[in-house]
Amino acid sequence: MRIWSIHPSYLDSKGLVALWRETLLAQNVLKGKTKGYVNHPQLIRFKETASPIGAIATYLSEIAEEADRREYNFQKSKISPDRYTEKIPVTSGQLEYEFQHLLNKLETRDPEKYEAISGNKSILVHPVFQVISGGVESWEIVK
């Protein structure tokens, strides 16, 4: 499971669909509707908010908006109506790590997307997050 901190506009079609599915799974995990993935490190930052379900639902809403921009048909009714208005901190190092991780995937999976974003000087963050200074997050499994 990868719940990206980078903006979903960077993802290719496979990545966006996978993110949608994985984040819907994460929402079910946070709602207690599944036994698996309950201790998954990608969920830590959502669990640490005052409203984990609201935070993941707000995250999902942006994914659905990106899908709309691409004229995909994601079933928005699957998103919890809860919302979270605070920003979740994410470190600059985490953002950079994820962007490079995505570039590595795109280089072979979608060379056009790779070329389109590889020269970016600054990295857009998913709107649910606020970038703070720091290295890779402690919950990240660095490869």
Pick from 42, 35, 36: which is nearest to 18 by CA? 42
Contact by Cβ (8 Å): 8, 125: no
> Residues near 102 by Cβ (< 8 Å), separated by ≥ 6?
4, 6, 10, 11, 15
Q: What angle do CA 92, 96, 102 make, to 5 degrees?
A: 145
Query: What pLDDT shows up at residue 143?
Result: 79
Query: What pLDDT shows up at residue 137?
Result: 95
Query: What pLDDT shows up at residue 36?
Result: 84
The pair phi, psi for residue 116, each rounded to 5°, is: -65, -30
The span from the CA of 67 to the CA of 72, in Å, is 5
Query: What pLDDT shows up at residue 35?
Result: 84
The span from the CA of 41 to the CA of 106, in Å, is 24
| pLDDT, tens only, 4-50 | 999 999 999 999 999 999 999 999 999 999 988 888 999 999 999 99
